[in-house]
Structure 1
């Protein structure tokens, strides 16, 4: 006798690399700048208009009129302009609810260039062959993109399995398209896998309580590297990065104070950005593959509830009370930021739910100082960053410090000290007008 599983809707995003001609690059860049200008005009309208006269209908009519009269403003499709208006309004709603800061002016050089395609039917996606697909972008034309995931197009598309929209995003590596996908899949049953505790660290990125640690295969600190991101580059790329940084420093020495950046210096900066973006992309890819493997293997995953913003605070102190070991703390903060612990936990949260597992959080205090064999806590047991030796004369257990912390994390969960599950935690809202503790 067979039983049918319940169906559930699933929404996710898929990002693919675009291959554009020089003419198409100019068209998409123009649309991105027009979208940024639309945001800035909306921001000026909202901040300069009295509260009693702030109506979205008036802003919508102004956008329609501007698209008819201004040529460079009219390159942005009407649906993309409406999406900017909707996004700006949603940004204020998030601010009023205490989940974000107030929307700001988008500067040309500090803003990520993007264009929204809110209607999935405008994309007209078609798979050309195994590695490439074609997508239609309004007012740009047909563009090739890298096909790395099966998408619900053609005969596989329907009301429940379809692409609802997309967004074009530009980074240092070029233009990419992020599809918004909606599918109807069978609900995952309870995961039969074992329980595991995970300690997130620097020397060992993911230390597991069963000893199956996950390392990215690269040293956490390199003597010839100026940043922890460089560990994701091969020796030739690191050497090229060092040459570019020296070239940028040399060319910058000729720039006078307040003078505009030269074209040659800007080209060098762009080359450095591309190498940095390559390292970031490799790190994110490792996180995705590792978290997917963990979600498929284990039914219950337990992690620490870390306050990462407080962990990466500067140790400078004040003039009257200066801090100590500022340089060492600064290096530790960079290492923590580059490991992206919060992003790892976020990936584990939705991937465990997708595979039928659960993710729990436990309190973090003393997990690194407590002996996982006897429960004895002494500050001296943590000999260094990688070694733990219990100072209890009746125990004397020794081993890897991260492995010991992972065993403590799992023990706290089994003893009933788990906090609210990550998937169902409540959003803490700030009162209106109160700024967050850490700047974004």
Structure 2
């Protein structure tokens, strides 16, 4: 079974320079190949295949203007084109059109498909050499499939994809179904009565604002501005990692203990659209909508659902998405639907039968029942 392990890298200054050269080369090859494929099809209707593009890398290395590509490992450049081709295949299946890579993006990466070795808390990267790493446990063994080296906020990491030879994860024996309602005041409320509070990031967000203010006061192009920018990027990365860790643990908890997990099929992009409107038709309550959008994005609902889905299915469970319409306004006891049932954000009081419950827990129960009995659920089951 494939397993991903992420470790921190500590390259020397010389190794940092080599990795930077490879990142630049991989990005250049990716963008050039994407531009050529787009131009050939738009202008002449010709489809340029992946292998034809990979052969052109040899030609580029022989040219005087692009001879600097020789600094990069050949397989890194070939893999860059493969990743571009995968982006195209994803586009044909209904995804977004491939975009050109920017050198100004906060996270830059390269991928090694072969010839990487791990030994005594060190990892060997072609062209780079042996690099010290931290976070690699001794019990992590298996055949290395790919290694993705990334640079973000002047920090280096390696994501190692391993095949550990294990066919499946421990199967969850529970057949119990649980509904999960996500929100702003609570990250999640489940049909068993569980209420998960948001991660306390007040201190970290205060530091983030301070770092942003410090950056705004520095002169453009100065060394102090570069240092301030690095500190801001590190703080952003720290907050992102804290959120990921929290959501990984929460999703694992549900996946290990529940055989059937039901969530709402939310259109998060539509929910977080701007309310500014146009000059002819300006939006209403713009500041309130901005605050709500910020709260939704900070809770990372999309990431939570993504982590939850693959963990549940990997353990032999069922992951179900249902129509979210009126789940928060419907009484779980009598089925009465009314906006007046939720006069307050956290309380649910049915106007028909008098049933009282936490509003989010009541919604989670409706989500669970709709997933089990409803006809509007989209089911996803383990293979």
Give the corresponding residue for 1:420. Answer: 378
Q: Does 1:134 align with 2:125?
A: no
* Contact 2:106 2:153 (8 Å CA) reproduced: no
Structure 2 counterpart SS, 1:319: coil
Kindly provide the CA deviation profile for residues 28-67 of structure 1, in whole angstroms up to 9, marking residues without a partner as x. 1111111111112223333444444845555334311333
Contact in 1 for aligned 2:172/2:316 (Cα 8 Å): yes
Give the secondary-structure state (helix, strand or coil) at the position aligned to 1:184: coil
The 3-state SS of whatever aligns with 2:150 is strand
Whole-angstrom CA distance in 1 between matches of 2:153 and 2:372: 46
Contact 1:173 1:277 (C-alpha < 8 Å) held by counterparts: no
Q: Helix, strand or coil: the match of 2:218?
A: helix
Is 1:105 aligned to 2:100, yes or no?
Answer: yes
Three-state SS of the structure 2 residue aligned to 1:125 is strand
Partner residue, 2:26: 35
> How many angstroms apart in 1 are the aligned matches of 2:50 and 2:368?
52
Contact between 2:322 and 2:377, CA under 8 Å: does it hold in 1? yes
Task: Name the residue aligned to 1:248.
Answer: 215
1:66 and 1:74 in contact (8 A); partners too: no
Instruction: Please give the per-residue CA displacement for 1:387-432, whole angstroms capped at 9, x wherever unaligned.
Output: 222222xx2222321111111111223433461224589xxxxxxx
- Separation in 2, partners of 1:241, 1:57: 45
CA displacement, residues 217-247 of structure 1 (integer Å, 9 cap, x when unaligned): 52xxxxxxxxxxxx2x6x3x55543432222
1:402 to 360, 369, 374: 360
Q: Where in structure 2 are the equivalents of 1:54-69 lying within 5 Å?
A: 54=48, 56=50, 58-68=52-62
Distance change >3 Å, CA 60–CA 417, structure 1 → 2: closer
Distance 1:238 1:40 in 2: 35
Which among 130, 133, 149 is matched to residue 145 of structure 1?
Answer: 133
Residue of structure 2 equivalent to 1:434 = none
**SS of residue in 2 equivalent to 1:241:** helix
**Contact between 1:200 and 1:206, CA under 8 Å: does it hold in 2?**
yes
Match of 2:90 among 81, 90, 94: 94
Q: CA deviation at 1:209?
A: 0.9
Q: Could you say what secondary structure the match of 2:69 adopts?
A: helix
Structural RMSD (CA): 2.5
Gaps of 5+ in 1: 1-9, 219-230, 253-259, 426-440
- The 2-side partners of 1:216 and 1:150 are apart by 33
Shift of 1:296: 0.9
CA contact (8 A) 2:6 2:135 kept: no
Superposed displacement of residue 140, structure 1: 0.6
Q: CA separation of 1:398/1:52 partners in 2, compared to 1, >3 Å: closer, same or farther?
A: closer
C-alpha contact (below 8 Å) 2:314/2:382 kept by paired residues: no
Q: 1:45 to 1:413 in 2, by over 3 A?
A: closer
Q: Distance in 1 between matches of 2:39 and 2:24?
A: 22
Deviations 1:71-116 (A, max 9, x none): 5311111111111122222322333343221x33322213631111
Conserved 8 A contact 2:348-2:362: yes
Tell me the equivalent position of 2:250.
Answer: 290
Q: Aligned match of 2:230 in 260, 270, 275? A: 270
Is contact 2:199–2:246 with CA below 8 Å preserved after alignment?
Answer: no
Contact 1:317 1:323 in 2 (8 A): yes
In 2 relative to 1, CA 145–306 (structure 1 residues): closer, same or farther, beyond 3 Å? same
Aligned to 2:332: 372
TM-score by length of 1: 0.79
Q: 1:292 to 1:424 in 2, by over 3 A?
A: closer
1:361 — aligned with what?
Answer: 321
- The alpha-carbon distance between structure 1 residues 318 and 124, as it changes in their structure 2 partners (threshold 3 A), is same
In the alignment, what sits opposite 1:390?
A: 350
